[in-house]
Amino acid sequence: MDYTSWAYGLLGGLMIGCAAAIYLLINGRIMGASGIVGGLMDGSGRSTWAERVLFIVGLVGAPALLGLVYKLPSTNVTNNIGLLIVAGLLVGIGTRLGSGCTSGHGVCGISRLSIRSIIATLVYIGAGAAIIIIARAIGVLS
Amino acid sequence: MKNLVTLFCGALFGLGLVISGMTDTTKVQGFLDFFGAWDATLVFVMGGAIIPMFIAWRISAERKKSVLGGLIPQSPKTELDRALITGAILFGAGWGLSGFCPGPALASSSFGGLGGVTFLAAMLAGMVIAPPIIRAVKAAP
């Protein structure tokens, strides 16, 4: 933990916030990753199929292009495939049931002072902190 | 034009996620590890992202339509219901176990290896099977 990662965090955060601000003011859409992807899976929401696909192409494609010229930092993700499948299912179901994730509730909702988003963010941070303690206790996480 | 803006916003979001360090699952799990070696990076990312968006909501409050004509989303719902809370608990559990949420999982899919792709496939499967679960949670007494 050092000041460099805080500075990169702030810079990257400003980029994320500017993307969300442009998406709202120019296109009239809320930039929530789970909503944009989830609508492709079940056809819900206001955005068109093309909007969703284009957004995801940018989201996946821009880091991929950057990766061609610059060595991107590792995700350091666990190699426990079973754990990743359980986690993925929980994130997929949970974000749809709770109508949002870190971008939708955390960034777009909190900045709007939405009470639902503020509560949702506190709850998922609390649940994440609790599961790490539990997973360590039973030896699933190191 | 609208399509170009959508593509640009997706790209800027993806690059922001990579530069901020949020595609590194150990930084996210480090933030959630309040009783261990706590990593504050996520606070800076969230803070940095909320500032422009806070201003954007203030600007949007005075208009009904966006620059390219789309309607600005209306005031958010205010009631807290079981679906919101249950969903947030399930999402938080998966987020803590893996260190991934939907944005970073997608942004890192080109360089995250088999683990990242496995998470992504399971997340998409979860979204596909979610509708009947949502109906059941909402209908439960």
Structural domain boundaries of chain B? 2-139
Structure tokens at B88: 């947030």
Phi-psi region of B99 (alpha: psi -120 to 50; beta: other; left: phi over 0): left
Segment A27-48, tens digit of pLDDT: 999 999 999 999 999 888 888 9
Closest CA to B6 of A35, A100, A13, A31: A31
Q: What is the pTM of this model?
A: 0.95
Computed over every residue of chain A, the mean pLDDT equals 95
Give contacts of B18 with chain A, Cβ < 8 Å: 12, 63, 66, 72-73
Closest Cα partner for A107 from B87, B101, B120?
B101
Low-confidence ranges of chain B (pLDDT < 70): none
The size of the A-B interface in CB pairs under 8 A is: 479
pLDDT mean over A126-136: 96
Closest CA to B126 of A93, A99, A100: A93
Which residues, at least 6 apart from B67, have a Cβ–Cβ distance to it below 8 Å?
Answer: A25, A26
Count the Cβ atoms, other than its own, within 10 Å of residue B103.
Answer: 28
User: Exposed/middle/buried for B121, CB within 10 Å: 0-12, 13-18, 19+?
Assistant: middle
**A98, B91 Cβ separation under 8 angstroms:** yes
The CB density around residue B63, as the number of other CB atoms within 10 Å, is 11
Which residues does chain B have within 8 Å of residue A81's beta carbon, measured at their own beta carbons? 114-115, 118
pLDDT of res. B69: 76
Q: Which amino acid is at B3?
A: N
Please give the pLDDT value at position B22: 97
For residue B82, the distance in angstroms to the closest alpha carbon of chain A comes to 9
Using CB atoms and an 8 Å cut-off, which of residues 49-78 of chain B contact chain A?
A: 49-57, 59-60, 65-73, 76-78
Q: What is the predicted pLDDT for the residue at B65?
A: 86
Helix, strand or coil, per DSSP, at residue B85: helix
Q: Most A CBs within 10 Å: which of B13, B34, B59, as the mutation test of the A interface?
A: B13
Cross-chain Cβ contact B97/A96 below 8 Å: no
Q: How many CA atoms lie within 13 A of A29 on its CB side?
A: 24
* First and final C-alpha spacing in chain A: 19
* Identity of the residue in B10, B46, B90 whose CB atom sits nearest the CB atom of A97: B90
What value does the mean pLDDT take over residues A122-127?
A: 98
| B138 at interface of A, judged by CB pairs closer than 8 A | no
pLDDT of residue B13: 98
Amino acid letter at A12? Answer: G
Q: What is the tens place of the pLDDT at every residue in A36-82?
A: 999 999 888 888 999 999 999 999 999 999 999 999 999 999 999 99
Nearest Cβ partner of A10 from B17, B32, B44? B44
Selection from B140, B41, B44 nearest residue B85 by Cα: B140
CA distances from A44 to A11, A21, A58, A73 (A): 33, 23, 21, 34
Q: How far is the C-alpha of A61 from the C-alpha of A56, rounded, in Å?
A: 8
Q: Any CB–CB contact under 8 A between B117 and chain A?
A: no
What's the CA gap between B141 and B129, in Å, rounded? 22
Question: What is the pLDDT at residue B94?
Answer: 98
